[in-house]
Amino acid sequence: MNKKALLDSLRDKLNTQEYEKLLVISNLKALNYIVEAYRLCEPKEIFICTDSEEDLSYIREMALKTGEEKSLNTSGHTYHFDGPKDQARDRKVTKFLVPKDDFLPSYLNQIEREEGLREITELLRGSMREKTMIVRFLTLGPVNSEFTILCMECTDSWYVAHSVSLLYRPGYKAFIQAKNGEEFFYTLHSAGRLNQDMVSVDVEKRRVYIDYTQNTVYSVNTQYGGNSIGFKKLALRLAIRKACSEGWLAEHFMIIGVNSGRGKIYLAGAFPSGCGKTSTAMLPGENILADDLAYLRNIRGVARAVNVECGIFGIIQNVNPQDDPLIYKVLTSPGEIIFSNILVSNGEPYWSGMGKELPSHGINYSGKWYVGKVDEEGNSVPPSHKNARYTVALKALENCDENLDNREGVELGGIIFGGRDYQGYVPVQEGFSWVHGIISYGASLETEATFAVLEEGKFEINIMSIQDFISVSLGKYLKNYIKFGKNLKKVPKVFGVNYFLKDLGSEEFLNSKLDKHVWVKWMAKRVSKELKAIKTPTGLIPKYEDLKILFREVLGRDYFLSNYAKQFMIRVPENLAKIKRVRKFYEGLKDIPDEIFKVLAEQETRLIEAKENFGDYINPACFKEEVL
């Protein structure tokens, strides 16, 4: 079907202005998707967003007019509630659509493509009746860049349409310039039936299906951002497939610009949700470039990276003026912010851990709330959900990095991997090489599943903090990762961090929340070759003398040798047990690169030798070899 025929088929749903907005787009596939979405979902009308201030303002107004969002006292602040059972990513219903003649490993959640399309099509059929279908054109990564991926979302949620205004770069002009046939990612989303509170009703029929053959995400009967904003973790799955086939990396990374004695050093970091990722990216005195997603490419032998997004969809629990002063300042100042699933009382937002006393009553995702409220299962209802969020543009932050929209990205000096490891790794260490670091800290990352997924409280291996989103075999993904580093002329250092280490036989954490700033400064100074490190069986660790100076410079407090001895003790039994668990995990999989088992075996040998020399729990003073 030609362009005119496609547009004419929408004529009764498009006024002259909306028709003309589409008339300048040449990509027939994009136009065809809009036609197919209209025919399937049967919206009352269609709104095309051109990214003009008029169109963006209209989306904000409609989010309020429909009740999907409501205003707060502070100018620009609004709030949105998802339903009580729609508060996190749902692993069980998030599936790949796999053609009969294709194959994905069994550990990837999947459904046969034609069967899945039939199911999702029926759930989407007529889902937008009496509603408006909003069409958003966006880009992943900076516009007109080697990193750029075009994307488009059709949704019936004004909240979702508003959220992407804050999270992604405008792409309408890029689609106008795009040639017919140019590749793009596409999402079709419907919140489904809504109740009087504008909350999805049929959450038991929630489905999030990913058709990688068409770079398409389908999402229905859900509003939670992680399920409905298609270009978060859902499109990450599509990007990972693209990256693995083209030799670059699409990662679950924050990026921070750290000011060291020799200029700004950019560090990327992968942390599972709720493990300190955003708070690391938001360290005071440093610059945030990304808090969640990044693309990495080999540009003339150098690893360069961009933020896929330009905003934050961040967990708000425990954001307070002491631990997160920069975020807290933004959240309590006028400006465009969407709060979700927090407590509202007298027009003010409240959340758990915000550093002040919360009201005894108000409204939240459960409806009217009061101290002592329980749900239908008899469980206590907290004032704000543990996965309550805020959505804000990165440029609203005073520490937003000046290279956010740099089309060439930034040079990465290092990559950090960290999770919730209560008993094993030291607070910060550096890999002996790209391969050692990637495998020992990234491919071996263990953590506790947190409230951002529905199966909270379960300990698991979470490779590179991206395991939920990997859309190829783990072997293929790891081989691409290893090869990427080997092909670089200038290789980033690889670090492992552990903010959650506890004292032996105790529930006491050995790190304070602020200590991470010292670890980050040390990593930056290692990249800039300002400090030496000590070689241990599991990696290179800081010297006590250097940390003593950094604690005084960064945090203005003393750092004692007794703290260092506890924090950087090499716990041989726990590390050997970890290797055993990781090896068992990989032995059950096919196509795993040999480097995995080689690195694990070498680390095991070093630990056993250290145990023979120094015992099970080794004071870092026992290790004497220093390296630059």
What pLDDT does 449 receive? 53
pLDDT grade, residue 448 (50/70/90)? low
- Tell whether 588 is covered by a domain: yes
Pairing of strands 207-211, 94-98: parallel
Q: What is the pLDDT of residue 144?
A: 94
563 pLDDT higher than 50: yes
Q: Which residue has the tokens 């400064």?
A: 521
**Co-location of 587 and 547 in the same domain:** yes
The whole-number average pLDDT for the span 79-104 is: 92
The whole-number pLDDT of residue 394 equals 96
Proportion of the chain above pLDDT 90, given as a percent: 82
Distance CA 604, CA 156 (A): 54
Mean per-residue pLDDT, 306-315: 95
| Mean pLDDT value across the chain | 93
Lowest mean per-residue pLDDT among 135-139, 325-329, 431-435, 473-477? 325-329
**β-strand partners of 132:** 45
Helices (H), 106-232: 113-124, 158-167, 172-177, 225-228
Q: Which amino acid belongs to residue 425?
A: Y
Phi-psi region of 126 (alpha: psi -120 to 50; beta: other; left: phi over 0): left
Question: Cβ-count burial of 294 within 10 angstroms (0-12 exposed, 13-18 middle, 19+ buried)?
Answer: buried
Instruction: Indicate if 68 and 112 belong to the same structural domain.
Output: yes
Residue 453 pLDDT: 44
Asked if residue 110 belongs to a domain, the reply is yes
Q: What is the CATH number of the domain that holds 318?
A: 2.170.8.10
pLDDT recorded at residue 218: 97
| Total residues found in the chain within this entry | 628
Tell me whether residue 275 is one of the annotated catalytic residues: yes
At what angle are helices 572-587 and 594-614 packed, to 10 degrees? 160
Residue 15: pLDDT band with limits 50, 70, 90: confident
pLDDT in the model for residue 450: 44
What is the pLDDT at residue 452? Answer: 43
Quick one: 302 and 325 in the same domain? Answer: no
> In angstroms, rounded to a whole number, what is the distance separating the alpha carbons of residues 354 and 36?
45
Q: For residues 213 and 87, state if they share a domain.
A: yes
Average pLDDT over residues 73-82: 97
Read off the tokens for 103: 């194959």
Q: How far apart are CA 594 and CA 570, in angstroms?
A: 26
- Lowest-confidence region among 8-12, 122-126, 445-449, 562-566: 445-449
321-360 CB burial, b ≥16 within 10 A, e <16: eebbebbbebbeeeebbbbbbbbbbeeebbbbebeeebee
* 295 touches 306 (CB < 8 A): yes
Residue 351's domain comprises: 313-396
Structural domain total, the chain? 3
Q: Which of 372, 396, 420 is the last residue of a domain?
A: 396
> Mean of the pLDDT values across residues 125-148?
97
Decide which of 351, 374, 396 is a domain's last residue: 396
pTM of the predicted protein model: 0.93
Same-domain status, 410 and 331:
no
Amino acid at 52: S
Structural domain contains residue 263: yes
Residue 86 forms part of a structural domain: yes
- Sign, CA dihedral 81-84-88-89, equals negative
Q: Do the domain assignments include residue 244?
A: no
What are the beta bridge partners of residue 186? 152, 216
Average pLDDT over residues 154-158: 98
Per-residue pLDDT of 584-603, as tens digits, reads: 999 989 899 999 999 999 99
Identify the residue with better confidence: 201 or 91.
201
Distance of alpha carbon 548 from alpha carbon 550, whole angstroms: 6
Residue 300 is part of a domain; what is its CATH number? 3.90.228.20
Highest mean pLDDT pick, 156-170, 265-279, 310-324: 156-170
Residue matched to tokens 């075996």: 601
Same domain, yes or no: 306 and 340: no
Q: Bigger pLDDT: 514 or 51?
A: 51
496 near 418, Cβ under 8 Å?
Answer: yes
> Phi/psi at 404 (nearest 5 deg)?
-55, -45
Q: What is the pLDDT of residue 456?
A: 42
Rounded Cα distance between 77 and 146, Å, is: 35
Q: Tokens 């349409």 belong to which residue?
A: 161
223 phi/psi in degrees, rounded to 5 = -120, -25
Q: How confident is the model at residue 458 (pLDDT cuts 50, 70, 90)?
A: low
In this prediction, residue 248 carries a pLDDT of 98
Asked if residue 549 and residue 417 are part of one domain, the reply reads yes
Higher pLDDT, 499 or 106: 499
Average pLDDT over residues 417-430: 92
pLDDT exceeds 90 at position 425: yes
Q: Are residues 348 and 278 in the same domain?
A: no
The residue with tokens 């470039």 is 289
Residue 239 covered by a domain? no
Query: What single DSSP character describes residue 553?
Result: I
492-528 residue pLDDT tens: 999 999 999 999 988 899 989 889 999 999 999 999 9
pLDDT in tens, 19-34: 899 999 989 999 999 9
From CA 552, how far away is CA 544, in angstroms rounded?
12
- Residues near 105 by Cβ (< 8 Å), separated by ≥ 6? 473, 474, 589, 590
**Does 111 have pLDDT greater than 50?**
yes
In-domain check, residue 69: yes
Q: Return the H-helix or E-strand segment holding 327.
A: helix 325-331
State the pLDDT at residue 110.
95
CATH number, position 203: 3.40.449.10
Q: Is residue 270 within a helix (H) or strand (E), and if so which, with residue range?
A: strand 263-270
Tell me which H or E stretch contains 555. none
In a domain, 238, yes or no: no
343-345 and 94-98 strand pairing: unpaired
Look at residues 377, 396, 415 and tell me which one is the last residue of a structural domain: 396
Structure tokens at 442: 């990234």
CA distance 564 to 16: 69
pLDDT score of 457? 44
Q: Looking at the predicted structure, is the pLDDT value of residue 454 above 50?
A: no
Could you tell me if 361 and 464 lie in one domain?
A: no
In the structure encoding, which two tokens stand for residue 348, read together?
């003010």
Question: Is 50 exceeded by the pLDDT of residue 572?
Answer: yes
CA distance linking residue 267 with residue 314, whole number of Å: 19
The answer on 520 and 389 residing in a single domain is: no
DSSP 8-class letter at 179? P
How open is the CA angle 167-38-57, to the nearest 5 degrees? 35
Q: Contact 263/380 with Cβ under 8 angstroms?
A: no
Q: Are residues 362 and 421 in the same domain?
A: no
Q: Which residues contact 415 (CB under 8 A, 6 or more apart)?
A: 253, 267, 268, 269, 270, 437, 438, 442, 492, 493, 494, 495
CB 459 within 8 A of CB 423: no
357-416 pLDDT, tens digit each: 999 999 999 999 999 999 888 989 999 999 999 999 999 999 999 999 999 999 999 999
> 222 and 78, same structural domain?
yes
Partners of residue 287 on adjacent β-strands: 257
Residue 491 has pLDDT above 60, yes or no: yes
Set 41, 244, 275, 310: catalytic member: 275
Q: Is residue 4 within a helix (H) or strand (E), and if so which, with residue range? A: helix 3-8
Torsion of CA 193, 199, 202, 207, to 10 degrees: 100
